[in-house]
Chain A
Amino acid sequence: MKLWNHYHTPHTIPEALALLGDYGGRARIVAGGTDLLIESRAEGHAPHEALIDITTIRELCDITHDGETVMIGAGVTHSQIVKSTLLQQQAACLVESCGVVGGPQVRNVATIGGNVAHALPAGDGTVSLVALDAEAEVIVNGDRRWLPIRDLYLGPAQSLLNPSRDLLLRFRLRGTKPGEASAFNRIMRPQGVALPVLGCAVWIALDEEGARYAKARVCIAPVAPTPVRSEAVEAALVGQATTDATLASAVAAAHATLRPRTSKYRATAEYRHEMIEVLLRRTLITALERARSSQVS
């Protein structure tokens, strides 16, 4: 079964945009293709007229850090992220979430841009980017701009980007400083479901004494049509002591505000409800340990 007719490997952003223009809506952007091509095969559609591969655009395939901001190209693969010592220090949750996606064959081609553009409510890399408060640089309808990553999502598998017109270029996020840390964890089932039962990424900043949460960002998904921050949980943490009691109140806040659904063959609502507690506790404890040790060193 043929999945596409033409395959283009542009080397610059203008070249990619020109190709999109030439095809007038009949071409679409592809990166690793591990979601797009498998879905195309599963759905048995007519071949895509043309695929425009952005992973040959060099500037979209780098990870950089200017001391303040970390930049990650949309064409950066999951393997690049996992192996990046820079990201291991600056964005531990992103490294963890990209490390659990697929096997090496998939991670070697699947990109972080593809994960975000696919716009699943619980994409592993996406959940971490949300907790890291990342911004995305996009070209939407010819207009190049930065926007908060959360604004990219319109609904399940629906993003702001039109894959036949627009480009997702890169992400930026603030690096992790002493006293700050992030962590990711998820629950899977071993049967035929590729998507996680539940994923959780947290980013925290401790106060100078390491005694209280100064800031916190938490993303637990899927609990909504798009990946969202759990503001009630964050509120239950910020300003509070790093104690078991605070953990318990964060869990209580999560249970009070998050309403996970039952998804067929994936998880019941009751199970997800239980997993919210397990994941939040495990992830927060890991992040807390990391933040404390970064403060000591």
Chain B
Amino acid sequence: MSVLMITVNGQAHEIDVPESRTLAQLLRLDLGLTGTKIGCEEAECGICTVLVDGTPVNSCIYPAFKAQGRAVTTIEGLAQGETLHPLQREFIRHGAVQCGFCTPGLIMTASALLDENPDPGVEDIKHALKDTYCRCTGYTSVIQAIQSAARHKHGAEPLPVNDPEVDEPMEVISRSVSPQQVVEKVTGAAKFTDDFTFPGMLFARTLRSPLPHARILAIRTEHARTLPGVRAVLTHQDVPAENLHGLVYRDWPVLCADVVRYVGDAVAVVAADSEEIAAAALGLIEVDYEPLTVVGDPKFAHSPEAPVLHPNHPTGNLLKHIKVRHGDIAQGFAEADVIVEREYHTPTTEHAFLEPECAIGVPAGCLDHEKLTVYVGSQIPYQDRNQIARAMGLPEEQVRVIGTLIGGGFGGKEDIAGQIHVAMLATVTGRPVKMLYTRQESLIFHPKRHATIIRIKTGAKRDGRLTAVEAELYGDGGAYASLSDKVMTRATTHATGPYVVPHAKIDCYAMYTNNVPSGAFRGFGVTQSAFAVEQNMDQIAALLSIDPIELRRINAQKVGVTTATGQLLRESVGLLETIADVERDMHTHHPSQDFAWTWREGHKAYAWGIACAYKNTGLGGGAPDKSEAEVEAYEDGTVEVRTAAADMGQGIAHVVAQCAAEELHIPYERVRVLLCDTDLTPNGGPTTASRQTFMTGNAARIAASALREAITQSVAEMFDVPPQQITYEEGLLRYNGSRVSVGEVVAWMKQHGLDARARHEYWAPKTEPLGSGGDMHFAFSYATQAALVEIDMETGEILVKKVLSSTDIGRAINPLMLQGQIEGGIVMALGNCLTEEFIIEDGIPWTRLLARYKMPSIKHTPEIVSRLVEHRAAEGPYGAKGVGEIPSINTTPAICNAIYNATGVRIYAIPVDQDALLRAVKAGQESIMTAWSDVR
């Protein structure tokens, strides 16, 4: 301990702290300023940025004592009292805040830029924010917000908000209201799990397997237990009840007993007085392993030589064989005039949400917690509760899960992470226990997007009509099932693309391997199949000399056609309009009068590429899909919506608030939202499958409408007027020329023993399982995107200049925030195409550091034009259907089609390797089958 003199946000501190502190630790742990977030501790992501004497630094690796005598500014120090800094205000106005976890870093980095450059251009902003990452927004709104704030700062008019055009806006629906808790997110007051502390709280760490496949011969914990400050060391023997969890198949040990199946499998957990002691204790646990044959890829997994990884699974390493059969495949190819058959490879990819996983367990009876309670930022709180209860041997009612804000999820926070471990450690120690994963641990631990091998054969007639699609997909499910069954089913059922295909035969093999488990990731398998489908489409178009846009128009799904799973599409199929939008925009955005798919300027080749996509909304496939919400009105005229539907930044909180405000005819500002407390909020179901707006939006809408009926009825009784004569206006009810406020009615209701509260359990329209030929899904969203790429023909470097998109989402509940979903989805998908790959070599992850996994930075952000098509879905809330995943599906093939058009080289593996691309160009090769990981 040494004395540190430091000024933080204008306040001088003289504080005795360990010399080993980083500046971020000092701010968060010693000064309680939790607005500064820690994302990687590698100086990679930049979200921990603070200013030291006015210059931005990464506080996660900046020694606190390096700041001796200096002045530090954090996000908490930016606003002047109640008055927000122009950046904070403009980030809100331009919709540049989604999950909010990176927001403090973006704003602090930008504030240093504005201090230096009062009027930055787009390139200046890209230069300054190059290493400050955001995984949600795609940066377009961030750039606008910064430019707008700059203008505001020097007295100019702020920039207008790029609010998309929508059809028939209502009172609150289809209006771009501010998201919930957005002020807290821009000021650093917003609380994510790691921002919570409790008196007497312990810190936990997990011992993970260093081997991809091994038998555990012995685990010795004696030395770890005797380290001073260690309070508990637990192994499989300490799991109170069922030592398994899993969302679909319960195959994943809470703590491994006899065998480890991937690098990162949990073997023991430790709770100690500090994180440092817990980490030191891990080093004292001795585990004897006997290495076993590693199943490193799905094709080997399918071979008779491979060891069976889950002996209890009835089909061995074949986790699931998924089949689509439609028409007569032989006839389909017999009718075809042209056939294209190709094999495509997609890699394992990582969500890289900026908030690493964190969970806090508080034992029953401790600090006002009646039950065993787990605080966690999870996508599925009720299923967390179920899985915790089963492992702990408790009835579900004796476990409470409280959802905190979530710093991004994208599918990566659906499975159990530390929830059960902290429940066990808290119960054993009788104290609150926090388990925060390091970024490096998060990388190796959590389920990823499936690597796939997709062989796809497409047949078409001379006039362009598709006749048949035959496909075989291999998906690397990794060590545990997670959501592989569902994800690979979606890859399979969407493998015809959004087209009319009369004959289809598709087989998918989801395989167990000794790689990191694969699970949900935005796009849910469809991202992979679209990469193959849409490039085959362009090759068919070339063979037939049909324009690629025209080929898609000829085959596009529309109302009245049947999908390859036998579903008759009855409504809300806006694909043709999205194609028309994008075609029009391609001409508008083309640099010259005469449109051309490709052209050269010196050593730069330019080209457009196009791709279409569709994606189901909701679980579908016969799974019961329901969501419940409760709406309550208060005497002060406010309303609360309660539901356990996770908001990981996508915005279900403002969606349900808008639904309630619309139904109750009250201003949006009067609605607050309580999410994800299993004791206080009913079950909104999983945040997955682009389902929340449709499902929980409907639940909130219908509950609010029931509450409105109850309030109207009460007014009718209060004033003895017929209910049909009562009208609503701005939070007031009018009758007979008089008026009464909602709050007054609520007071009257309470006096008369009536609840000003309504609850609704919304059941989605029934769906049928794959193979039954019925409706597998109750709604689909559609999209078309065009990408304009610039290829440096001397270096192979690829720059995506523009992405033009049009998306049929039924209705935009909140147009600006929905546009943020689209922009963020596009940039995430651009990463899928060009930068991202989680590399595993024979079961050993090479991508152990965030430095080895580059998601797109602001530098990669293209100009994005996004249009909305609103083909109402009759069952959706106000006609809305899902948007979460659809933007992330067709960007990759659109870019690859553009690369082909520019270079003549077809891309069969991603992420695209500029090295291989250039070599192919030089050698006159027409394709590359290798990706970045093949450079060795």
Contact = CB atoms under 8 A, between A and B. Distances in A.
A267 B796 CA distance: 12
B673 interface: no
Interface stretch (B61-69, B326-334, B697-705): B61-69
Contact of A187 (B62, B132, B795, B798): B795
A157 B834 CA distance: 30
Contacts of B837: 191-192
B20 A47 contact: yes
B59 to A, nearest CB: 9
Contact of A105 (B46, B834, B860, B932): B46
B854 A105 contact: no
Interface stretch (A31-39, A115-123, A164-172, A283-291): A31-39
Given A9-B65, A278-B794, A192 B854 contact: yes
A109 B935 CA distance: 32
B128 A104 contact: yes
A265 B935 contact: yes
Contacts of A102: 43, 131
Given A190-B834, A190-B860, A103 B19 contact: no
Contacts of B835: 190-192
Nearest to B914: A189
A42 interface: yes
A265 B933 contact: yes
B20 A4 contact: yes
A37 B20 CA distance: 12
B57 A4 contact: no
Contact of B19 (A7, A192, A268, A278): A7
A145 interface: no
Contacts of A5: 19-20
B847 interface: yes
Chain B interface size, as a band, is 35 or more
Interface stretch (A14-22, A227-235, A269-277): A269-277
Contacts of B68: 9
Contacts of A38: 42-43, 61, 851
Given A103-B129, A264-B936, A274-B918, A194 B851 contact: yes
A173 interface: no
Interface string A47-72: 10001010100000000000000000
Contacts of B836: 191
Contacts of A6: 19-20
Contact of A42 (B56, B848, B853): B848
A278 B792 CA distance: 11
A34 B61 contact: yes
Contacts of B276: 1-2
Contacts, number: 142
A49 B936 CA distance: 37
B935 A267 contact: yes
A271 B930 CA distance: 14
A79 B795 CA distance: 28
Interface string A203-215: 0000000000000
B46 A103 contact: yes
A187 B129 CA distance: 20
A56 B92 CA distance: 40
A252 B837 CA distance: 36
Nearest to A279: B795
A108 interface: yes
A3 interface: yes
Interface in A185-223: 187, 189-194, 197
Nearest to B108: A105
B53 to A, nearest CB: 10
Nearest to A271: B915
Given A53-B66, A105-B43, A268-B919, A42 B849 contact: yes
B478 interface: no
Interface string B855-879: 0000010000000000000000000
B733 interface: no
A189 B66 contact: no
Contacts of B918: 271, 274
A34 B43 contact: yes
A275 B795 contact: yes
Nearest to B205: A1
Nearest to A35: B43
26 contacts: A1-B275, A2-B276, A4-B20, A7-B64, A34-B61, A42-B440, A42-B848, A47-B20, A104-B55, A104-B112, A105-B49, A105-B132, A106-B58, A190-B834, A190-B835, A191-B837, A191-B854, A192-B835, A192-B847, A192-B853, A197-B915, A264-B935, A268-B915, A268-B919, A271-B796, A271-B918
The 4 closest A-B pairs by CB, nearest first: A103-B131, A192-B852, A271-B915, A7-B65
Interface of A: 1-7, 9, 33-34, 37-38, 41-42, 47, 51, 53, 55, 79, 102-106, 108-109, 187, 189-194, 197, 262, 264-268, 270-271, 274-275, 278
Given A104-B131, A274-B919, 5 more contacts: A104-B109, A105-B58, A191-B837, A271-B918, A274-B922
